[in-house]
Amino acid sequence: MNAEITDYTAFRAALEAMDKPRCVQLARQLLEANAHDIVGLYTKILAPVLNSMTDSESGHPAAIWREHVRSGIVRTVIECCYPFVLAERAARQTTADKGKVVIVSPTDEFHELGARMGSDFFTLQGYEAIYVGANTPKAELLQGLALEKPAYVVINAVNFYNLFKIKKIVAEIKERLPGQRILASGNAFYHDPELFRQIGALAVIRTPDDIRQLEEEHA
Amino acid sequence: MANAIELSGINKIYGTAIQTQVLFDIDLAFEEQSFNSIIGQSGSGKSTLMNIMGTLDRPTSGTVMIGGIQTSNMTKNDLAVVRNETIGFIFQFHYLLPEFTALENVLMPYLIKHNKPTAEVRERADELMELVGRSKVKNNKATEMSGGQQQRPALARALIMTPRIILADAPPGNLDSDTTEIIYDILRQVNGQFKTTFIIITHDRKIAEKADRIVEIRDGRISLDVTRPMI
Amino acid sequence: MSVSLKIAVRFLKSSRGQTILIVLGIAIGISVQIFIGSLIQGLQKSLVETTIGNASQITVVSKADDKLFTDADRVMQAIRQTESRITALSPVLDQAGLATNGDETGSVLLRGLDFAAAEQIYALADRIVQGRLPSAVDEAIIGKGLQAEWGVAIGDALDVTVAGGKRLTYTICGVFDLQVQSLNTSWFLTTLASAQEQLDQAGRVTSIEMQVDSGDVFLADTIAADLQALPELKDLAVTNWKAQNEQLLSGLNGQSISSIMIQVFVVVSVVLAIASVLAISVMQKSRQIGILKAMGIKSRQASLVFLYQGLILGVLGGLAGVVLGLGLAYSFTVFARNPDGTPVIALLIDPAFFFLSFLIAVTASSLASLIPARKSARLDPIEVIRNG
Ligand SMILES: Nc1ncnc2c1ncn2[C@@H]1O[C@H](COP(=O)(O)OP(=O)(O)O)[C@@H](O)[C@H]1O
Ligand SMILES: [Mg+2]
């Protein structure tokens, strides 16, 4: 049987049971055994498992409760992966000299796992990823950007209603901090390849490949 | 899927001496059976747009197609028929006719077309009052209800002709959030059950973010038009 | 029931006070109109009645110098056959004369009447206040005026000298009162046969007097013209009361016109009142009309809502007006009475006129609702929907 599928199934079973120790343990094992790298773990196992469960459980009376518990477990898993992220970057011999990247979600955006994974991708690519977190008010963001002067700011949205807010934030960043490069990420953007342009972002980031492509275009 | 409503090149200018342009070159189409919301600041032109979509107002230029049929050359009577049969309205300011009971209000669009209610349509009106959770007050005069209480019978009235399209201009924040959610659930249920196309102007995030598509109007232009991502 | 009618009824019911007020307004207007109409009609009828009720309405006279003609029976036969509207037909032989009673002398009109036929015109049987009708050749009756003037008693003899100096003597067998002073002092009535014999005019008459159906009184002139065309009457002249009473007629006419004017103004003010209330009602209901139009009510249906309101108000107001008018007429005849107990004015209670008034109320209020109906048809729903 395909190893990837086995790993997926095992992790899914653990998450389904909401078994936090097992989930953390499984992830560490996979990374330690080099069965997956960080990107593989995130994109082939964590994200799909989480999404598949949200899907299959919608309609369940406790669906939202369970989704939140599981998101919490996955967040812990991701936190626990940080040493591996650093190790992987060291192994790649990439140093953190490409500048800072600020990763935020706007107010009322509470889905942050995607942004957390994304910040690790930037770390792996040699950026100093500053993950600000979910539900960041616009004023704080503008202040932070002025302070940090990052190479990129990545604004994340899962709920598509937040796109309207992001459009306004982008416009304001451009006005207040001319030249600031702004990127978009999150599920709200992926189904429509034109959306990022409409909200005024430079590009949409979904995978490490997108980061590399961005570097090539803006080298 | 075919479009329930299709607007192209819509401009709306108010006034003759002092002209105010309220809508600018709007191209917008809504698919049949879709559930859409329109958002935007007060004064951005949402109601004007909705009134044009509902054939209540004529655009200064541009065309409106309802169910694939051009409306620009229709007579007033033709438009009345279109509104009666294919569009259900929920108005921003007006709910029920105060001279009639809630149930009579629900039957009114049917009476306009047929004069007499059949046993079937009476039954259907009862069912709709049930659906919107207002069976108990169906024989109350509209004057005995608050604006908020009138909204649900108004929804039942919009549904009585099983219109292909429901246009709702929701009042800005005069409903508590529980009621909003209940109304939303009813609307969704109707959308699933009768395949009705919904276009709802709303100021309520809870309603807007649950639509399949959100269109934002800003200063008379579409500033952003997004569809819900498939997970 | 059409949706427009349903809405109209509901609108009227929902503003009950306003509805009652308009109905009352129409009712009062129509009752006044009915009252005035009945009053004037009654007045005119009694006036015409006193003038021509007991008089010849159409009269056939001779064109000859001696004012006599012979074939009265043949003429009457012809008239009876061609004209069914004639109710009385009475041959008369008139002769002016001078009556003397001792020293007193007065000019009289000696009239030979066929009392059976003349009864239908003069109703003399009822108007004999003393004695009886004449029957013998030398019997005559005189009017109350002459009798009082001369102090004549029943059984007294009076002489009458006619043209040519012939002196005739009559025994007074009765006194009549025709309620017209000039007739009561001048008429000297005897039988036709007596007059023909005494005056040596056997078979001759001076006129044929006629009355027509009471409903055709005002057609006397056309009937007279028709009679004039008969071959039997080609040497005779036909006159009628209208030609002889032009002043009265023009008086009546003026009265009718002013009565109609008053009635028209009453109705016009009713119409204006309804129109203005309905016009306000369109404004009051513009919200509802707007919502209904947005829901797809057609302009025609929207205007019908107000036409029906006018119609309903007219029917209710008209009925109430007729009832009120009857009440008014009734109380007027009951309370306004002469000392002798007879009504001051006999109103004419004419069902046809009442029905006409009712129709006027309905038509007028329907007409009054035309303007609001048009407004309602033209109301653009967007004005209402947009402005809340
Ligand atoms: N009859 C009118 N004449 C002039 N301006 C109007 C008229 N109706 C609406 N407007 C203007 O058009 C703009 C859009 O109004 P509306 O469509 O009601 O906006 P919204 O529904 O988004 O609040 C507003 O600026 C309003 O003042
Ligand atoms: Mg509005």
CA of residue B220 to ligand 1 center, whole Å: 10
Within 8 A of A163 by CB-CB distance, chain B residues are: 224, 226
pLDDT tens for each residue of C74-96? 989 999 898 889 889 999 999 99
* Nearest listed ligand to the Cα of residue B216: 1
Strand ranges across the sheet with A181-185: A128-136, A100-106, A152-156, A181-185, A203-205
d(CA C286, CA C383): 9
Test C385 with B83 for CB contact under 8 angstroms. no
The answer to whether C168 and C159 have CB atoms below 8 angstroms apart is yes
3-state secondary structure of C54: coil
* pLDDT score, position B181: 76
Look at residue B182 in the predicted model and tell me its pLDDT: 79
Determine which helix (DSSP H) or strand (DSSP E) holds A135, and give its type and residue range: strand A128-136
Identify the residue whose C-alpha is closest to ligand 1 atom 27.
B43
CA pair distance B118, B19, nearest whole angstrom = 49
CA distance C314 to chain B (A): 22
Chain B contact for C378, CB < 8 A?
A: no
Amino acid at site C268: V
Q: What is the pLDDT of residue A50?
A: 86
Residue B77 structure tokens: 């009577």
Q: Which of C10, C298, C299 is opposite residue B99, by nearest beta carbon?
A: C10
Angle (CA) C253 C257 C259, round 5°: 115
How far apart (Å, rounded) are the C-alpha atoms in residues B217 and B43? 10
- Which residue among B20, B203, B216 is best mutated to probe the pocket of ligand 1, counting the most ligand atoms within 8 A of its Cβ? B20
C–B touching, 3+ CB–CB pairs within 8 Å: yes
Does the CB of B54 have a partner CB in chain C at under 8 Å?
yes
State pLDDT tens for residues C191-225.
999 999 988 888 899 999 999 988 888 888 899 99
Instruction: Say whether domain A95-217 belongs to CATH 3.40.50.280.
Output: yes
Confidence of residue A58 (pLDDT cuts 50, 70, 90): low
Residue B64 located in a structural domain = no
Which of B39, B216, B230 comes nearest A191 by C-beta?
B230
Cβ–Cβ of B57/C294 closer than 8 Å?
Answer: no
In a domain, B69, yes or no: no
- Distance CA(C364)–CA(C360), nearest Å, equals 6
Distance to chain A for B146, nearest Cα, Å = 31
DSSP classification of residue C27: H
Q: Residue C168: helix, strand or coil by DSSP?
A: strand
Residue B37, min C-alpha distance to chain C (Å): 19
Does the structure's ipTM exceed the value 0.90? yes
Tell me the C-alpha distance between A39 and B18, whole Å: 61
Residue C333 parent element (H or E): helix C299-335
A110 reaches B (C-beta below 8 A): no
Mutate to test the pocket of ligand 1, among B12, B13, B22, B60 (most ligand atoms within 8 A of CB): B22
Residue A98 DSSP SS3: coil
**Chains adjacent to A (≥3 CB pairs closer than 8 angstroms):** B
Q: Which CATH number fits the domain that encloses residue B182?
A: 3.40.50.300
Which of these, B25, B53, B24, lies nearest to B38 by C-alpha position?
B53
Among the ranges B49-58, B135-144, C97-106, C376-385, which has the highest mean pLDDT value? B49-58
Measuring CA to CA, which residue among B221, B198, B224 is closest to residue B211? B198
Query: What is the residue extent of each domain of chain C?
Result: 3-50+248-387, 58-241
**What are the pLDDT digits (tens) for A6-46?**
889 999 999 999 999 999 999 999 999 988 999 999 999 99
Q: Per-residue confidence at A211, pLDDT binned at 50, 70, 90?
A: very high
* Residue owning the nearest CA to atom 14 of ligand 1: B45
Q: Do chains A and C touch (3 or more CB pairs under 8 A)?
A: no
**Mutation target among A164, A167, A196 for the B interface, most CBs of B within 10 A:** A164
Ordered by start, the domain boundaries in chain A are: 3-90, 95-217
Q: Which residues contact residue A15 at a Cβ distance below 8 angstroms, ignoring those fewer than 6 apart?
A: A23, A49, A50, A53, A70, A73, A74
Helices first, then strands: H and E counts in chain B = 7, 10
Structural domain harbouring B145: 33-58+75-227
**B221, part of any domain:** yes
C3 with B100: Cβ contact below 8 A: no
Residues contacting A52, CB < 8 A, separation 6+: A12
Name the closest residue on chain A to residue B212, using Cα atoms: A160
Cα–Cα nearest to C29, from C253, C285, C268: C268
Q: How far is C21 from chain B (nearest CA, A)?
A: 19
Predicted pLDDT at A21: 96
| Residue A161 touches chain B, beta carbons under 8 Å | yes
Q: Which ligand sits closest to the CA of B51?
A: 1
Q: Give pLDDT tens digits for A143-197.
A: 999 999 999 999 999 999 999 999 999 999 999 999 999 999 999 999 999 999 9
Which residue carries 């109320």 as its tokens? Answer: C361
Which residues of chain A have a CB within 8 Å of the CB of B221?
A: none
C381 touches chain B (CB under 8 A): yes
Q: Is residue B14 part of a domain?
A: no
Q: What is the pLDDT of residue C259?
A: 86
The whole-angstrom separation of Cα C256 and Cα C278 is: 32
- What total of structural domains would you count in chain B? 1
Instruction: Tell which residue, C50, C71, C64, C82, has the closest CA to residue C180.
Output: C50
Q: Does residue B28 lie within any of the structural domains?
A: no
Say which range, A89-103, A119-133, C109-123, has the weakest mean pLDDT: A89-103
- Residue in C145, C138, C149, C210 with CA at minimum distance from that of residue C176: C145
pLDDT tens-digit profile, chain B (231 residues): 899 999 999 999 998 899 999 999 999 999 999 999 999 999 999 999 999 999 999 999 999 999 999 999 999 999 999 999 999 998 877 679 999 999 999 999 999 999 999 999 999 999 999 988 888 888 999 888 887 778 889 989 999 999 999 999 876 555 556 677 777 888 888 899 889 999 999 888 888 888 999 999 999 999 999 999 876
Identify the closest residue of chain A to B204 by CA–CA distance: A161
A210 in Cβ contact with A117 (< 8 Å): no
pLDDT at A1 over 60: no
CA A134 to chain centre: 11
Total-model pTM: 0.79
CB spacing of A161 vs B231 below 8 angstroms: no
* Per-residue pLDDT at C20: 92
- Which residues on chain C are in Cβ contact (under 8 Å) with B76? 298-299
From A123, A200, A94, select the one nearest A155 (Cα to Cα). A200
> Burial letters for A46-84: b for 16+ Cβ neighbours within 10 Å, e otherwise?
bbebbeebbeeeeeeeeeeebbeebbebbeebbeebeeb
The residue of chain B nearest to residue C388, with distances taken between CA atoms, is B93
User: In three state form, how does the secondary structure of C345-371 look?
Assistant: CCCCCCHHHHHHHHHHHHHHHHHHCHH
CA angle, B91 as apex, B86 and B92 as ends, to 5°? 150
Around Cβ C116, how many Cβ atoms within 10 Å? 10
Pocket test for ligand 1, best of B14, B221, B222 (most atoms within 8 A of CB): B14
Calpha distance C293→B89 (Å, rounded): 11
Indicate the top mutation candidate among B26, B48, B56 to test ligand 1's pocket, ranked by most ligand atoms within 8 A of CB: B48
| C286 at interface of B, judged by CB pairs closer than 8 A | no
Asked if residues B176 and B120 have their Cβ atoms less than 8 Å apart, the reply is: no
Q: What is the pLDDT of residue B206?
A: 82
Average pLDDT, chain B: 91
Average pLDDT over residues C167-194: 91
> Comparing C-alpha atoms, which of C238, C207, C226 is closest to residue C117?
C207
Q: What is the pLDDT of residues A63-105, one digit of tens each?
A: 888 888 999 999 999 999 999 999 999 888 766 688 999 999 9
Report how far residue C31's alpha carbon sits from residue C114's, in angstroms, rounded to the nearest whole number.
48
φ, ψ dihedrals at C10, nearest 5° = -65, -40
B38 CA → ligand 1 middle, Å: 15
DSSP C379: -
Chain B contact present for C293, CB below 8 A: yes
Cβ contact B227–A163 (<8 Å)? no
C40 vs C46: CA distance, rounded Å: 10
The answer to whether B37 and B9 have CB atoms below 8 angstroms apart is no
Which residues, other chains included, contact C105 with Cβ-Cβ below 8 Å and sequence gap of 6+? C98, C99
